[in-house]
Structure formats: structure tokens, C-alpha cells
Amino acid sequence: MNDWFAYNDGRSAGEVTKEGGVILRDDEHRLGARITLKRDINYISISCHIYKRMDHSRFFRMISDADREYKSMKTALGNMMIMIDAAAGDEIKVWEAISEFVRQFP
């Protein structure tokens, strides 16, 4: 089963953000996470969000680097969401999983 789907039915791709960047990819996980790849004037960014828990962004100069990392981060974020779901309210396990993700993708 694919736990990821295009955010807003894919309509956000190509949108210009308030900051002037362009959304290249925008995916949402069924358990409440989102990952976005955006091109700005001077950099490319990847933003990861776990609703009401975490916001984490990384910045790149090359689209090839950002694209590679987007795929890797999306996989890890999906695995983390499954771990958080399985933790069933154990906040220590939740924050340990989030801390490990941020450490893995500084």
C-alpha cells in the first residue's frame, strides 16, 4: 500500500509561494506528514512537516542533490510516521524518532 499521495491532488505543484519560490513536488503521508521540494531564487529547499509536531527544512544549491535527498527523506519520513503510529501515544518514542530523523538529515 502506498502511504503517500500528492498534496492537494497535485494542484500545489507549480504554485508560486509567498516568498517567490516555486513548488516542484509536494507529497502528503496518510498519517499526517508532508514533504515539499521548492525552488527559490538562490537555493532549492526541502521542507518536512509532521502536523503539530515538527517542521524541518534543508537547503541545497543543486537540484540534483535536492532531488536525491527528497527521495531519501521521503522514505525515512514515511518510516518514521509508521513508527510514530505504532508508538500509540508514547511521547518519548515519538520524540526519539523525530530526533533521529533530524540528526540523519541535518
Q: Write the pLDDT tens digit of every residue in 19-55.
A: 899 999 999 999 999 999 999 999 999 999 999 899 9
- Hey, what's the cell of 10? 497535485
- What pLDDT is recorded for position 1? 64
- Residue 11 CA to chain centroid, in angstroms? 17
- The CA-atom distances, in angstroms, between 44 and each of 1, 41, 60, 103 are 30, 8, 5, 20
pLDDT at 87 over 70: yes
Q: Rounded to whole angstroms, how far apart are CA atoms 68 and 66?
A: 5
- The total of other beta-carbon atoms located within 10 Å of residue 2's CB is 6
Q: Which residues are CB-neighbours of 105 under 8 A, at least 6 positions away? A: 48, 56, 58, 69, 72, 73, 76
The average confidence (pLDDT) of the chain is 96
Point out the least confidently predicted range of 11-15, 31-35, 88-92: 88-92
Q: Can you give the pTM of this predicted structure?
A: 0.93
